[in-house]
Amino acid sequence: MPETPVDPTDPQVLTGLNLSPERFAEIAAAFVEIRAEIDLLRSLDLGETHPAVVFHPVVGKSDK
């Protein structure tokens, strides 16, 4: 018997999550809202505005 081909667009294949269809639907619904906020943030034109938090690596004791 031939194997059933894997659907590359199946969300469980794309994410690698082994969840029940019900749980996956809950996560997908939550992600829709998160994705909308991410798209909104990406659409902001910040120009030369730097983020409120700028990462500065910790200076080691020997570097002081």
Cβ distance 18 to 12 under 8 Å?
yes
Sequence spans of domains, the chain: 19-43
Query: Of 38, 26, 2, which is closest to residue 11 (Cα–Cα)?
Result: 26
Check residue 48 and report its DSSP letter: T
Q: Is the pTM of this model over 0.75?
A: no
Cα–Cα dist 15/18, whole Å: 9
Question: In this predicted model, what pLDDT tens digit does every residue of 7-63 receive, in sequence order?
Answer: 877 777 778 888 888 988 888 888 889 889 989 988 988 787 776 776 666 766 565
